[in-house]
Amino acid sequence: MRHYSLVWLLIPQGEEGTTVDILLQPVSGRPSKTISLTRQQIKIIPVSYALCGPTSSSVGPGAEGSKLGYIRIATFNKNTAEATQEALLALKRPCHVLLVMSAQREGAQRYVLDVRNNGGGLFPAGVQVARMFINAGDIVLIADSQGVRDTYSADFTAIEDKKPLSVLVNRGTASAAEVLTGALQDQRRAVVAGEQTFGKGIIQTVVPLSDGSAVAVTVAAYQTPNEVSINKVGITPDLSLPEDVPSTPQAFCSLVQSSNAPPLYK
């Protein structure tokens, strides 16, 4: 196996279908190699989901034999809120196009929201998803050196604000994903399972300098509804979660239907 040393340079953007050449230099000192890459649009699918069941009793109190709606949110982009809404509605009223891990067609009786390794993205998308599960109350506070200056709250449009909910997190959960998790935890809407999240909760603005460089200035920070700062702290889970819990819908369903299912609810 050959080992290459890669140096990442700023590659100029170009039109879809055009090519760019990249020079690879082997670490061993062997002759370099040039490869050609074709520019293409990358479509990121932010949400995947499945209806699992019947679930194992080890998932939590009252979970045995129930239907569990699993929603995996990989990132928060412009399509995340709409895709999450579609997933939630489909899980409440499953149809033939939905991946159902059981012959029965009843809707979900409990939910899992998986934001492990979700580094964030668009802040408004995180707030929109929170409003699907929280009908009333604060979602996130924006604070600066003078205190709380703005508040984002639920708007009484929740799709599912009653049934048991578990949020899966890890150290790769950050920013908008932490805003969502903190809101669900503080409003006692969900149990958080996993490990301490990353702790990225500041709002910065870039200020250009006279020499052409720039400096990022922190202007505010995110706080959970209980006025707890997220930055450099993260969200502390309510339950631990094994690191090998899968994050693909079919594999996750197989796990929660087995006797090896980890606790997800209290």
Annotated catalytic sites, by residue?
175, 200
- Distance from the Cα of residue 107 to its chain's centroid: 23
Q: Residue 56 has which token pair? A: 């194992």
Q: What is the dihedral of CA 193, 169, 143, 126, to 10 degrees?
A: -110
Which alpha helices (DSSP H) does 93-235 contain, by range? 123-133, 176-186
* Rounded (5°) CA angle 169-87-120: 35
How many beta carbons lie within 10 A of that of residue 107, not counting itself? Answer: 15
Q: Which residues sit opposite 208 in a β-bridge? A: 214
Nearest to 234 by CA among 177, 188, 166: 177
- In angstroms, the Cα distances linking 115 to 176, 195, 222 are 10, 12, 18
